[in-house]
C-alpha cells in the first residue's frame, strides 16, 4: 500500500488520512443513505439532525432493523460513552448531540458510560487520580448537552462496577482471547486490563435487557473508531439471549493542524483540538493558525476559490457551527467560489465558538447539581450473595437466580 494512502483506525489508535468509505468497507458496515435515512426521518417526525444531513454520520449497523421494531411499537434505548484521559474537545460532543436529539425524538432512555478504567489501562502515563477526575469533568460536559435527566443513567465504571459485574462475568465468558487479540491487535505486552475491558464496554448495551428480563433494543451512536468493540458485542449478544445493538457511526473531526483527527493525546494535541475548557484567547489563536483549504494569495483565492473538503475550519461549520442548512450552504458556496476569504471565515467562526463556549460552560455548571444522582451504583437484582443467609437445610438460594 503506498504510504500516502495508509491509515489506521482502531479504538486505541487513529492515524493517517482516513478514507472513510474504504474504512466502512473494511469494517463491513452499511452505508447510511437512501431508504434507511428516509425511514429514520419519518420515524423522527419529518426531520433529520444536521450531523446526519451533512454526512458526518455516514455508516450504520442494523438501523433498519431497529426502526422496523420501533414501528411495531418496540422502544429502544440509547448508549454512548467516553474514556476520560483529559478535557473533552469539540469532536466528543458529536455522539452526545446526536443522542440528545434522538432522546427527544424517540423519547428514549439514555445510558452514558464513563470508562475511568479504560484509558488508565491504555495509557501508561495516566494516573488513577487523573482518570477519575477527568471522568467527572467529562461527565459534566456531556450532561451540559441537555439530556432529560429523568431518563438518563450513568455507568461510571469504577463506581458502578457492583451493578455491571454480574453481567460482565457472563459477557467475558463468551469472548475468547483470540477474538480480542485479532480485533484490537493486542501485543503480548498488552496488560490484561485491556483484554477484559471490552466486556465492560459491552455491558451497557445489554444491561436494560438483563435488568428487565425482556429484549430491549439498543442504538449506539459513536465514532466509527469504536465499531470494533461492538462487533464483539454483536457477536456474543444473542448467545446470552439479548438482541444485537444497532449502531450509527460518525466520522471524526479533523485536527486543526490538518493532521489526523482531533485527539486528547499525542504530540500536537494541544493545538490540533479545540478543548471545551479553552479560554476565548486560546480559541482565537488556535483557529487563526488552523489549516485551511485556501490558496497561497488573496488574488488567487478570489480567482480560483478554495477547497472546503480539506479544510479544518469548514469541518467545524459542518459539524456544529452552521445553525441551519442555508448557512452551511452559503459558507460552502462562498468558500468554493472565492467570495469568502479564510481570514473572514475564521473571524466569524471564532465568535461563534466563543459564544458556544459561554453557553456550554454555564450549562456544565448547572449539571453539577444532578450528575451524582444519575450514577448507577446498585446491582439490578439479587445474585445470591446479596440475599439474607438461607435458613433452609439445603442452604442454597433458588436456582432461578442463576438463570
Ligand atoms: N471507548 C470509548 C472511548 O475511548 C468510551 C466508550 C465507552 C464509548 N462506551 C462507549 C464510546 C459507547 C461510544 C459508545 O472514549
Domain boundaries, the chain: 7-250, 269-367
Q: What is 7-250's CATH topology?
A: Rossmann fold (3.40.50)
The Å distance, Cα 82 to ligand 1 centre, comes to 5
The Å distance, Cα 79 to ligand 1 centre, comes to 9
The Å distance, Cα 168 to ligand 1 centre, comes to 16
**At CB < 8 A and 24+ separation, what contacts does 361-368 make?**
361/144, 361/276, 363/144, 363/145, 363/146, 364/140, 364/141, 364/143, 364/144, 364/276, 365/140, 366/144, 367/139, 367/140, 367/143, 367/144, 368/140
* C-alpha cell at position 99: 443522542
Sign of torsion over alpha carbons 23, 27, 32, 34:
positive
Q: Which atom belonging to ligand 1 lies closest to the Cα atom of 84? A: 15
Beta bridge partners of 77: 218
**Is the domain covering 269-367 a CATH 3.30.200.20 domain?**
no
Note down pLDDT in tens along the chain; length 403 residues: 445 568 999 999 888 889 999 999 999 999 999 999 999 999 999 999 999 999 999 999 999 999 999 999 999 999 999 999 999 999 999 999 999 999 999 999 999 999 999 999 999 999 999 999 999 999 999 999 999 999 999 999 999 999 999 999 999 999 999 999 999 999 999 999 999 999 999 999 999 999 999 999 999 999 999 999 999 999 999 999 999 999 999 999 999 998 889 988 777 778 999 999 999 999 999 999 999 999 999 999 999 999 999 999 999 999 999 999 999 999 999 999 999 999 999 999 999 999 999 999 999 999 999 999 999 999 887 787 766 655 555 555 554 544 4
Give the three-state DSSP class for 3.
helix
The reported pTM is: 0.94
E strand or H helix at 353: helix 342-374
* C-alpha cell at position 207: 444491561
Matching fold, domains 7-250 and 269-367: no
Q: What are phi and psi of 385, to 5 degrees?
A: -65, -25
* C-alpha cell at position 34: 437512501
The Å distance, Cα 179 to ligand 1 centre, comes to 19
> What does the alpha-carbon distance between residue 331 and residue 299 come to, in Å, rounded to a whole number?
19
Pocket of ligand 1 (CB under 6 A): 11, 79-83, 113, 115, 118, 201, 220, 222, 226
**Residue with CA at minimum distance from ligand 1 atom 8:** 81
Could you identify the residue written with the cell 473494511? 26
Amino acid at each position: 500500500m503506498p504510504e500516502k494512502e495508509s491509515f489506521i483506525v482502531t479504538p486505541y489508535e487513529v492515524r493517517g488520512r482516513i478514507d472513510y468509505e474504504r474504512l466502512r468497507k473494511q469494517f463491513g458496515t452499511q452505508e447510511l443513505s437512501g431508504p434507511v435515512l428516509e425511514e429514520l426521518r419519518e420515524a423522527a417526525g419529518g426531520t433529520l439532525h444536521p450531523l446526519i444531513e451533512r454526512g458526518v454520520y455516514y455508516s450504520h449497523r442494523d438501523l433498519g432493523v431497529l426502526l422496523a421494531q420501533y414501528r411495531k411499537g418496540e422502544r429502544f434505548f440509547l448508549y454512548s460513552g467516553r474514556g476520560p484521559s483529559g478535557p473533552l474537545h469539540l469532536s466528543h460532543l458529536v455522539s452526545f448531540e446526536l443522542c440528545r436529539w434522538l432522546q427527544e425524538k424517540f423519547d428514549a432512555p439514555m445510558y452514558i458510560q464513563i470508562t475511568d478504567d479504560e484509558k488508565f489501562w491504555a495509557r501508561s502515563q495516566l494516573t488513577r487520580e487523573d482518570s477519575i477526575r477527568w471522568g467527572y469533568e467529562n461527565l459534566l460536559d456531556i450532561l451540559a448537552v441537555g439530556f432529560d435527566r429523568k431518563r438518563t443513567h450513568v455507568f461510571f465504571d469504577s463506581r458502578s462496577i457492583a451493578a455491571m459485574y454480574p453481567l460482565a462475568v457472563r459477557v467475558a465468558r463468551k469472548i475468547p482471547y483470540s477474538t480480542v487479540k485479532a480485533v484490537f491487535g493486542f501485543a503480548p505486552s498488552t496488560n490484561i486490563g485491556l483484554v477484559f475491558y471490552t466486556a465492560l464496554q459491552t455491558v451497557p448495551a445489554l444491561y436494560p435487557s438483563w435488568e428487565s428480563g425482556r429484549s430491549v433494543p439498543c442504538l449506539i451512536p459513536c465514532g466509527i473508531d469504536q465499531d470494533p468493540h461492538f462487533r464483539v458485542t454483536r457477536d456474543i449478544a444473542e448467545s446470552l439471549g439479548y438482541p444485537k445493538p444497532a449502531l450509527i457511526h460518525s466520522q471524526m473531526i479533523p485536527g486543526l493542524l490538518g493532521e489526523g483527527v482531533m485527539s486528547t493525546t499525542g504530540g500536537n494535541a494541544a493545538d490540533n483540538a479545540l478543548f471545551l475548557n479553552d479560554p476565548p484567547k486560546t480559541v482565537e489563536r488556535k483557529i487563526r493558525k488552523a489549516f485551511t483549504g485556501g490558496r497561497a494569495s488573496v488574488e488567487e483565492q478570489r480567482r480560483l476559490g478554495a477547497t472546503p473538503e480539506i479544510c479544518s475550519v469548514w469541518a467545524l461549520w459542518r459539524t456544529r457551527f452552521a445553525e441551519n442548512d442555508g448557512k452551511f450552504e452559503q459558507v460552502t458556496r462562498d468558500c468554493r467560489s472565492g467570495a469568502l476569504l479564510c481570514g473572514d471565515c475564521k473571524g466569524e467562526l471564532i465568535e461563534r465558538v466563543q459564544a458556544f463556549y459561554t453557553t456550554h460552560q454555564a450549562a456544565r455548571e448547572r449539571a453539577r447539581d444532578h450528575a451524582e444522582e444519575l450514577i448507577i451504583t446498585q446491582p439490578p437484582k439479587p445474585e445470591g450473595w446479596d440475599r439474607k443467609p438461607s435458613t433452609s437445610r439445603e442452604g442454597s438460594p433458588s436456582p432461578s437466580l442463576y438463570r
